[in-house]
Structure 1
Amino acid sequence: MIRTKRQGLIVWFQHMKNIKQLKRYGHLISVSRKLRYAVIYVDQEEIEEKYEKFEKLAYVSKVAYSHKPMIRTTFESKKLDKKKDYEYEMGI
């Protein structure tokens, strides 16, 4: 199974009825009814084309890139200090 690299686009729209049209451009992940925005995932090779298409649509207010692919997701483990473990012991 080959995984394609994907990136999210955050699209602000004017009316909830426009969600059906937004589904055509990528994988719709979530929609906020109150703030009127949607998160749509598309392939990274096509992201520039989709961004331009979204900006041309009349019912789209604003488009932004998701920064998730640029964030480092490998974390280092925190080394425990042995002295600190014994500080809280009470000798009775």
Structure 2
Amino acid sequence: MFELTARRALIVRVASNRVARTLRRYGIVRYVSRRMHYVVLYVDQEKIPEITEHLKRLRAVRSVEQSYRPDLDPTLTDLEETGVYQLHDEDDKE
């Protein structure tokens, strides 16, 4: 039976774009920004700590960050109550 595995994106900032091909052995390369020098890499959730350590040891990797998207609440409906969106004076006049 098919089972879904929890995955998370890692944003890997690289010194050279040639490293993107070698990052395929650590996970699925989803996007490569040639101008901004970063790679979006999808890895299994339980393997994140060990893969992050391996990536930080590579010479061409500058930094590794985890995506915060899985931590966000997708059912956020009322932004005013949470404090994310605050009314401005111009909005009150309408």
2:53: which partner in 1? 52
2:83: which partner in 1? none
Between the aligned residues of both structures, percent identity stands at: 36
- 3-state DSSP of counterpart to 2:50: helix
| In structure 2, C-alpha distance between the alignment counterparts of 1:73 and 1:2, rounded to whole Å | 22
TM-score where L is the length of structure 2: 0.77
Unaligned residue ranges in structure 2 (runs of 5+): 79-94
Superposition CA RMSD, Å: 1.3
| In structure 1, C-alpha distance between the alignment counterparts of 2:3 and 2:69, rounded to whole Å | 20
Q: How does 1:33-48 map to 2 (within 5 A)?
A: 33-48=34-49
Q: How far 1:75 sits from its partner (Å)?
A: 4.3
- 3-state DSSP of counterpart to 1:16: coil
Unaligned residue ranges in structure 1 (runs of 5+): 78-92
- Kindly tell me the number of residue pairs found equivalent between the two proteins: 77
